[in-house]
Amino acid sequence: MAVSVLIVEDDRNIAQLLQMYLEKEGYAVTSAEDGNQGLAKFQAIKPDLVLLDVMMPGMDGWAVCKAIRAESQVPIIMLTAKSQTDDKVQGLRTGADDYVTKPFEMKEVLARIEAVLRRSGSISTEKKARRLVFDKLIIDMDAFELTVDGKRVDTPPKEMELLFYLASSPNRVYTRNQLLDEVWGFDYFGDSRTVDVHVKRLREKLEGISESWTLKTVWGVGYKFEVLTQ
């Protein structure tokens, strides 16, 4: 069963972005636009985790957090534009498990969600495989290391992420726009040729290493990590 997350955030753009990314990661997401609605939805669905904005009209995040804590120990991560130490301390004293300051990177939010869920021990979180092994190739995203033919190869983060994403679904073809969305993020507005440049650099590191796999161009469509034999 999917892990359920309740987002309580009055900024619709932020709420939609969070929901989009979390659903992409397999979470079941419900959103609320203010504190009163958020508390009502919490009591109705009993989510596994709450992402809670602080500054909201009416019932603010502190009040919602206190109300939730009166009846549940569900993990709560506060989302706020305030970064002062006093605000963080107040959030933790109110009962929050973690605190993320806006503007934030979605990868940071996802990592904090995973960490809080693991610490809570209230649910079983099966972490996705972050280490892929092929003939003469190891892509280790936890260590952020690329090992080619037994040697560690220094690789920039975006190249690592692109290779890992392609290799996670062998033989599946992705368009450049799909790769931009998935690897660079929904808020990336750069040229799709960025993907071509990164693929070219990856090929310089990987070309001719193994006959079992290849980073292949599908003309007129995009790219795929093709596994020939295993």
Instruction: Kindly report the length of the chain.
Output: 230
For residue 210, the model assigns a pLDDT of 92
Give percent of the chain with pLDDT exceeding 90. 48
pLDDT of residue 115: 81
pLDDT at 148 over 90: yes
112-122 as b/e: b if 16+ CB within 10 A: bbeebbeeeee
Q: What does each C-alpha distance from 147 to 39, 44, 106, 158 come to in angstroms?
A: 48, 48, 27, 16
Q: What confidence category does residue 57 fall into, taking pLDDT thresholds of 50, 70 and 90?
A: confident
Pairs from 102-107 (Cβ < 8 Å, separation ≥ 24): 102/14, 104/79, 106/17, 106/18, 106/21, 106/185
User: Rounded to the nearest 5°, which phi and psi values hold at 6?
Assistant: -105, 125
Instruction: Give the span between the Cα atoms of 176 and 192, in whole angstroms.
Output: 6
Owner of token pair 């090992």: 147
146 pLDDT higher than 90: yes
140 pLDDT above the threshold of 80: yes
Mean pLDDT over all residues of the chain?
A: 85
Of the candidates 31, 39, 87, 29, which has an alpha carbon nearest to the alpha carbon of residue 66? 39
Distance CA(130)–CA(145), nearest Å, equals 11
Residue 153 token pair: 């190869």
Residue range 76-87: mean pLDDT, rounded:
72
pLDDT attached to residue 189: 57
Q: Is 69 helix (H, G, I), strand (E, B) or coil?
A: helix
The pLDDT of 117-127, averaged and rounded, is 63
With residue 27 as reference, give the H or E element that holds it: none
Mean pLDDT of 176-201: 79
Q: Of 170, 172, 188, which Cα lies nearest the Cα of 180?
A: 188
The pTM score is 0.56
pLDDT for residue 67 = 94
pLDDT of residue 125: 47
